[in-house]
A and B are shown apart, each in its own frame.
Chain A
Amino acid sequence: MASPIAGNESFTTVENTVGQLDRLNVADVRAFDLVTQNLLIEDNARISSLKPSLEGLSAAETANEADTPITLTGTNNIVLSDFNGGGATVVNLPAATENATVVLLFTTGNTANNTLTINCASGEEFLAGTTLKSAGVTVVQSTSGNNRLVYTPSGTTTNLVNMGTRLYFLCTNAGVWRMNSKFNCSETTATGAFVFSTV
């Protein structure tokens, strides 16, 4: 058989190629190894659709009713809020940059019915399909372009948003916030309505 590289001596053999790939044994690449990060990576892994850990987040900012309107700037923060429906409150999210994580943590129960408005920064939006439980119990979902989320409490003690409730905002694509939530579900927490909109 004639040499297939006749006239082209600048080839690289498979053996050479594999030698360059020694740092990555493809046969060992498994999702389990990569996402469990056994003893290799200590940074927080942020998986787009899952609630991030609170590990390493700062509690440097607050979003209390008395300070409305509140414009958040930190992108790695737990933000405590005493919002309880006593006064209309506006919270402006920081710019959605990759890996940004903001967790809004409520420190008291809702007893009145003034609204909480959460705005994306200019030109940004919530990922279409973001899903939250709402009054009823039913669910609300964002659509493309939605950049505002309004929560209207019911003025009772059965609100979905109450002490310990968390709203998670996570960015994996610049300009787009993904959301997740942790509600304190008791037998009757069924009131308080979320609405996504575009302004």
Chain B
Amino acid sequence: MASPIAGNESFRNVENVTASGAETALDSVNVSQLNVNVLTTENNLDITTTLLSNVKPSLEGLPVTDHTGQVAPNYVEGINISDYNGSAARAVQLPAATVGKVVVHLQAAAVGAGGADLEFDVLKTAGDYFAPGTNLLSLSAGPALPLVFSSSAATTPYSTDLDFEGVANSTLGAGALIYFWCTKQGEWHVAHDLASSATVATGIFTFSSN
């Protein structure tokens, strides 16, 4: 049989494709197993938590740190328990936003009548910011339209501060959660699980940049 590459010596054979050069990346993908079901259900393949940019992360496997009594806590990766209750201001410093990091604020008790702010600051020296277009449910003081959304800056300068002002019967009830997670270097996504009952009537989130 005549060589099928006669006159065309610049070919690469299959062995070269899978073992060297730019195509080596194919080695990491078992094409025969690549389908939607496998990738999304992760059966027998991966038990690490999945982190998606627009989905609140799981609490599974997160370490827990208690910041009770700290007025300027440095939050760390994992669940951060806070006894903020509105009687005194709290200034939380978030860690550097690196891909895969999850930081969760767990509210240990209800907010009282104090009205002092709970503030979350990104690591400004690193240029971190809150993802543009973040929308957080917020309850304003105005009776005409008490339920609004607080939105982070959509364009530069992006938001770097997030403040919560709560008084009694606020959305930051015992057990409330505020999630920060990073899927892009320097950028925090934010979401929350807030109290909701017939008596919850306050709780204002405000994004800013300073």
A residues with CB within 8 A of B: 1, 3-5, 9, 11-14, 17, 21, 24, 26, 29, 31, 34-35, 37, 40-41, 43, 45-50, 98-99, 127-133, 136-139, 141, 160, 172-174, 178-180, 183-190
Instruction: State whether the Cβ of B154 lies closer than 8 Å to any Cβ in chain A.
Output: no
A contact residues around B61 at 8 Å (CB): 128-129, 131, 141
Say yes or no: B175 contacts A190, CB within 8 Å.
Answer: yes
Residue of A at shortest CB range from B58?
Answer: A49
- With the chains together, A123 CA to B197 CA distance in Å? 41
Minimum CB–CB distance from B35 to chain A (whole Å) comes to 9
Say yes or no: B43 contacts A17, CB within 8 Å.
Answer: no
- With the chains together, A69 CA to B18 CA distance in Å? 56
Interface size class of B (residues with CB under 8 A): 35 or more
Contact residues of B between 11 and 31, Cβ < 8 Å to A: 11-14, 17, 26, 29, 31
- With the chains together, A63 CA to B185 CA distance in Å? 46
Chain B residues touching A, majority SS:
loop
Partner of B175, one of A5, A40, A48, A133: A133
- With the chains together, A9 CA to B110 CA distance in Å? 77
Partner of A24, one of B31, B40, B47: B31
Say yes or no: A138 contacts B108, CB within 8 Å.
Answer: yes
23 A-B contacts, Cβ less than 8 Å apart? A11-B14, A14-B12, A40-B36, A47-B41, A48-B41, A49-B60, A129-B60, A129-B61, A129-B62, A131-B58, A131-B62, A138-B81, A139-B81, A172-B47, A173-B44, A178-B60, A180-B60, A185-B194, A186-B173, A186-B196, A187-B111, A188-B174, A190-B108
